[in-house]
Amino acid sequence: MKTGLPVEIDPIQLADQGARLIGELPGAAFSRLRQECAAPLDPVRLDLAFVRGADGLRKMAGTASVECELICQRCLEPMIMRLEAVFQTVFYRMPEDHQQGEATSDEMDSIIVEGPVRLSGLVEDELLLAVPMMPMHDKKTCSATRYLAEDAPANGTSLDRQNPFAVLDVLKAKDDQ
């Protein structure tokens, strides 16, 4: 696979070089994110720029994104969702440097790195935060709301004939909300 992305990086070194990393990492590298998703994870797309600012701070800015299969908590059917994480990060080599830089980096995350780190580890936390607590289809496309809106029969028989458990599923999905 020609992803061109290294498994491990040294963010401090990359910032000093002014490097930019664009490419994909295999979904298998994201074990925690895979646990959140219903299907094997697609490759995660990265676009990360590393710079050393005029203030001497080593920074990373960019995005990571992946399409992830989640389970809709209303109808309990799969749904595809695009997860995107945006990065504004400052890297410090030593905790002491961090103290000095704190005042200038209020809006940025700061990470202390002593050496090379796994690139997937660097972005996985933020992607996990992008996973919704209660993933749900749009109301217009969710099959649970279709049942409720169109198929709920006045006499209560047509649903039973199709699938006697459909009513239970709809009720369960409502309870979960």
- Token pair 């992946």 in the structure block, residue: 66
70 SS3 class = strand
User: Which residues sit opposite 62 in a β-bridge?
Assistant: 48, 87
Does 142 contact Zn ion by CB under 5 A? Answer: yes
Binding mask 98-137 for Zn ion (x = CB under 5 A): ---------------------------------------x
Pick from 118, 144, 127, 121: which is nearest to 37 by CA? 127
Minimum CB distance to Zn ion, residue 173 (Å): 8
Binding of Zn ion by 75 (CB under 5 A): yes
Stretch that binds Zn ion, among 38-46, 71-79, 98-106, 150-158 (CB under 5 A): 71-79
Look-up of token digits 């169109």:
150
The letter for the amino acid at 146 is R
Residue 136's nearest CA partner among 174, 165, 86 is 174
72 binds Zn ion (CB under 5 A): yes
123/173 with CB nearer Zn ion: 173
Q: What is the binding site for Zn ion (CB under 5 A)? A: 72, 74-75, 137, 142
